[in-house]
Amino acid sequence: MPNLKAGDKAPSFKLKDQSGKTVSLADYKGKKLLLYFYPKADTSGCTKQACSVRDAEPDLSQAGIAAVGISPDKPEKQKKFDDKYSLGFPLLSDEDNSVAKAYDAWGEKKMYGKSYEGIIRSSFLIDEKGKIVQAWYKVSPADTVPNAKKALE
């Protein structure tokens, strides 16, 4: 599947969050959404990324942007991650990677010369009508929030 780009319709999703509540893209109709995919809860890069989103919440909220993170972790692990860092935004469990695949955020990765399938750290700014404003693939954990803010300028 080719990478999503500005103007594309954001693939819909319906996943459980860290509290077991079902969250869908439709829940954000009429709002902007910063949706990001991360490989694994409570790892260094993912923690840095999630905490930067948490810390930017006042600015994001003022700009009318909600934030949602998605990883393959089970809801219980997402809950521990949320509790440990007081993240305060939905962390969705995509255990079968179907949503990551729909956003083209799942694919071949390499580490220490070995290839494997996994989450490609990606983020998407989605508008009030469910269209992609901008997509960033292989994004640095530190760039998720600045990219979204810059896209709104």
pTM of the model: 0.94
Domain locations in the chain as residue ranges: 14-152
pLDDT at res. 113: 87
Cβ atoms of 132 and 123 within 8 Å: the answer is no
Cα separations in angstroms, 14 against 20, 66, 70, 103, 105: 12, 16, 11, 13, 16
pLDDT at res. 141: 93
pLDDT at res. 32: 95
pLDDT at res. 123: 97
The pLDDT tens digits along the chain (153 residues) read 579 999 999 999 999 999 999 999 999 999 999 999 999 999 999 999 999 999 999 999 999 999 999 999 999 999 999 999 999 999 999 999 999 999 999 998 887 888 889 999 999 999 999 999 999 999 999 999 999 888 877
Instruction: Name the residues annotated as catalytic.
Output: 46
Cβ atoms of 8 and 132 within 8 Å: the answer is yes
Give the CATH number of domain 14-152. Answer: 3.40.30.10
Other Cβ atoms less than 10 A from the Cβ of 12: the count is 11
Percent of the chain whose predicted confidence (pLDDT) is above 70: 99
Six token digits for residue 18 = 């860290």
Distance CA 124, CA 103 (A): 9
pLDDT at res. 1: 57
